[in-house]
Amino acid sequence: MLPKANRLLKKEDFQKAWKGGGSFYTKNLGFKLRKTTNTTLKLGVVVSNKISKLATVRNKIKRQIREAVHSHIKDIAPGGYDLVIIALPNILKKPLEDIRKDVVIALNCFKILKK
């Protein structure tokens, strides 16, 4: 589980990250990143009802996405970032390893992953 310091919780924070940052999309996930004055990465995950009507399925997808980011959080370059990850419909059929690969691809694209 992500520590509270690494979570986007407020609606305003989601909106700022959504409007004010860069974006990157893979087949399974969409990413919105905004640089902030904080010192940590803050993560928010969006899984809409279009993905699945069942809350248990949506929550499982959120847990998998958070785990994929959590495993790379120590590799993120210093600096503050707000990251919103949007699940796309293809995510339902994908294992955790594919989600992890998409996260690494996006973090490399945003150039915030340490080399």
Distances (CA, A) of 67 to 21, 36, 53, 95, 108: 23, 23, 22, 12, 18
Task: Tell me the residue type at 57.
Answer: V
pLDDT (tens place) for every residue of the chain, 115 residues total: 788 888 999 999 899 888 888 999 999 999 999 999 988 889 999 999 999 999 999 999 999 999 999 998 888 888 899 999 999 999 999 999 999 999 999 999 999 988 6
Q: Any residues with CB less than 8 A from the CB of 16 and at least 6 apart, and which?
A: 34, 82
CB of 60 within 8 A of CB of 16? Answer: no
Closest CA to 41 of 98, 113, 104: 113
Domain ranges of the chain: 9-109
* Confidence (pLDDT) at 83: 94
* Confidence (pLDDT) at 23: 94
* Confidence (pLDDT) at 78: 84
**The listed CATH number (3.20.110.10, 3.40.50.300, 3.30.230.10, 3.30.1010.10) that belongs to domain 9-109:** 3.30.230.10
